[in-house]
Chains A and B, each alone.
Chain A
Amino acid sequence: MNILVSISHVPDTATKIVVGADGKSIDSKGVKYIMNPYDEFALEEALRLKEKNGGTVTVATVGGDGAKDVLRTALALQVDKAIFLKAENPDSFVVASSIADVAKEVKPDIILFGRQSIDFDSFQVAPMVAELLDMPSVTITSKLDINGTSVSAERDIEGGKETVSTTLPLVVSAQKGLNEPRYPKLPDIMKAKSKPIEERVANGAAARVEVVGMELPAAKGKGKVFGDSEGDIAELVKLLHEEAKVI
């Protein structure tokens, strides 16, 4: 089975966000970058598919030089090939176009993504790649059964789950619950440092979305805090009804 995994590098979730001098992006000083947590599920699924069916796992990432680190993590997990597509601040369309370029060459049976990247939560690269390649897609996938070329997948929807039938070749975006990701072993992390990473420039398409500005959310005024007496709780309920008008 020929498998392609698209992974992104994102600030650790615990990062304190400071807007940079350009007013359009974060100040990356002191920020720890990690593999997008949902991409761990995608990568794990790829490794399991390979273990079961044989084949190769290729991983690709689009970004600035810092993004190469996530490819090292993937190499430590024994993927066969890592491709770095260099681009400064690509928009999602440029990312999708670049991943689609790699797919045209690799001709994967399946392309795995995370449900969303936790930096911009934009939730769009996977369906875009599917459309660019005229392939089916299943997003927010929590269960994947592949039988020959026919596929049955479960995805989370509002208020329940949906079972989707489709066929390979396929684009899948992974949700928590799909599997339990493994962690790289220390000797493999060491070995990964000297493994080759293929480097190229990203797709040259023009960005379709331009950042105008980034700001911190307006600080909330101090909330009204009460004790747990009957009177306090009655007062709170009254405020929810009369002041906030939410009940």
Chain B
Amino acid sequence: MKVLAYLEVLDGALKKTAFETITAALSVASASGGSVVGIAIGASADAVKAAADYGLADCLIAKHDILAKQSASAVAETLAQAAKAENADVVLLPASSTGKEIAPRLAIKLEAGYAPDSVALAVEGGNVSVTRPVYAGKARLTVKITTAKKVITIRPNVFTAKKVAATLATRDFAPSLSDSHVKASVSSVSRNQGKLDVAEADIIVSGGRGLKGPENFHLVETLAGTLGAAVGASRAVVDAGWRPHGEQVGQTGKTVSPTLYVAAGISGAVQHLAGMSSSKVIVAINKDKDAPIFQIADYGIIGDALEVLPKLTEKAKAIVQR
């Protein structure tokens, strides 16, 4: 199968999701005896070169003035035109906030079936089966796309980007777009300055009501700082106004899959687990040995988070700085 991989760009450079998408695309292509072509919007040929380290040999660089407006509908149209021009059977995108807005539109344009938020892909015959967590992570659903063309998004942080050397050739791609393709445009973006976001972090340290008050969250922040991690929070502490909503992990917050998730003073309610149970390694710190969080934790410490966190930070520092 021929796979078109959408490489996300931020401030002119490829995002981490771009390398993950390449890795996933290469696995589908090799299992089905096909090839991969990348497509990037808003990046220079130089910036796209980083993709060669992950095995990408062929990449389109889409250029059009209209694409500067960052409109999901215009990006969907660009990808649809590229998929047709390249005869792609599968289009892979990251299940990021923009990827999830582009992909359903793209699927309609290509008359393709769409499988979102994949955590596992398997090629069977001419088909791809796609697995994702459903019911707040309480079950896993596997679907098959029955149409000839397929659109799939992959959950960030799950398909670990693999380094494979390749020689990359880039090609300019000029989609034919008009203002009618811009249905909505981004007029401004405000980023949480200097802070790593839970949705993109490799490591997350989260705090819950067990921290006792907002004044103790510096303990969570210090450990996060030491590990290069993002700070997360349970809904209880967000609702109490201790932490901003952007940090909330869970069903009504963000879904995360970091390599390491540390939950301090969090009971592990099902709605919290919904957002983090696909983390690779989970560490729980809780003074109640029966707290449900221990049921999914790989490592646990039974103790007072206010005392454990500083000790943990100190020991981690010794290792991280080595």
Residue of A122, A166, A217, A239 contacting most chain B CB atoms (<10 Å) = A122
Contact call A137/B183, Cβ cutoff below 8 A: yes
Give chain A residues whose Cβ lies under 8 Å from the Cβ of B186: 162-164
Q: Does B34 contact A (CB under 8 A)?
A: no
The answer to whether B260 and A212 have CB atoms under 8 Å apart is no
B residues with a Cβ closer than 8 A to A are 72-73, 76, 95-98, 100-105, 107-109, 112-117, 129, 132-147, 183-192, 195-197, 199-200, 203, 227, 245-246, 251-252, 255, 259-260, 270-271, 274, 277, 280-284, 289, 294-304, 307-308, 311-312, 315-316, 318-320
**Across-interface contacts of A170 in B (CB, < 8 A):** 184
Name the contact of A216 in the complex, choosing from B139, B190, B200 (C-beta under 8 A): B139
Cβ 8 A contact of A160, one of B136, B144, B190, B289: B190
**Chain B residues with CB under 8 A of A160:** 189-192, 197, 246
Query: Which chain A residue lies CB-closest to B309?
Result: A233
0/1 interface trace, chain A 111-149, chain B, CB 8 Å (1 if under): 000000011111111111011100111111000000000
Is the CB–CB distance between B73 and A225 below 8 Å? no
Whether A190 sits at the interface, judged by CB under 8 Å, is no
- Which one of B183, B189, B195, B307 lies within 8 Å of A161 (CB-CB)? B189
User: Measured between alpha carbons, how far is A171 from B183 in the docked complex, in Å?
Assistant: 11
Chain A contacts with B in 219-247, Cβ cutoff 8 A: 220, 223-228, 230, 232-234, 236-241, 244, 246-247
A244 to nearest B CB, angstroms?
5
Residue of B at shortest CB range from A165? B187
Chain A residues, Cβ within 8 Å of B280: 246
Contact yes or no, A226 B136, CB < 8 A? no
Dominant secondary structure at the B interface:
mixed
Stretch at the interface among A10-18, A54-62, A71-79: A10-18
| B97-A156 in contact (CB<8A) | yes
A residues contacting B by CB (< 8 A) are: 11, 13-17, 19, 26, 37, 91-93, 96, 118-128, 130-132, 135-140, 152, 155-166, 170, 176-177, 206-217, 220, 223-228, 230, 232-234, 236-241, 244, 246-247
Distance in angstroms from B60 CB to nearest chain A CB is 22
Pair B138/A216 contact, Cβ less than 8 Å: yes
**Binding site secondary structure of chain A:** mixed
6 other A-B residue contacts (CB within 8 Å) besides A136-B73, A240-B316, A244-B299? A163-B186, A209-B143, A211-B143, A225-B299, A246-B281, A247-B260
Cα A211 to Cα B145 in complex, Å, equals 9
Closest to A138 in B: B184
**Contacting residue for B183 out of A14, A166, A220, CB 8 A:** A166
Least distance between A173 CB and chain B CB atoms (Å) = 9
14 pairs from A and B in contact (CB 8 Å cutoff): A17-B139, A123-B104, A124-B103, A127-B72, A165-B185, A209-B143, A211-B141, A217-B133, A223-B294, A228-B302, A233-B301, A236-B301, A240-B260, A240-B281
Top-6 shortest CB links A-B: A228-B303, A136-B183, A208-B113, A166-B184, A159-B197, A127-B104
Task: Tell me whether A37 and B270 are in contact in the complex, defined as CB-CB below 8 angstroms, given that A137-B101, A157-B97 are known contacts.
Answer: no
CB-CB nearest in chain B for A152: B187
What distance in Å separates the Cβ of B92 from its nearest Cβ neighbour in chain A? 15
Check B140–A216 contact: CB distance below 8 A. yes
Q: Tell which of B117, B135, B183, B282 touches A135, judged by Cβ atoms closer than 8 Å.
A: B183
- Residues of B near A136 (CB, < 8 A) are 73, 183-184
B299 and A226 form a contact (CB under 8 A): yes
Q: How far is the CB of A229 from chain B (nearest CB, A)?
A: 9
Would A225 and B140 be within 8 Å (CB), given that A121-B117, A162-B189, A164-B185 are in contact? Answer: no
Partner of A137, one of B72, B137, B189, B246: B72
* Inter-chain contact A212/B142, CB cutoff 8 Å: yes
Residues in B whose Cβ lies below 8 Å from that of A123: 95, 100, 104, 116-117
- The residue in chain A whose Cβ has the minimal distance to the Cβ of B100 is A123
Asked if B183 and A130 make an inter-chain contact with CB atoms under 8 angstroms apart, the answer reads yes
The answer to whether A239 and B296 have CB atoms under 8 Å apart is no
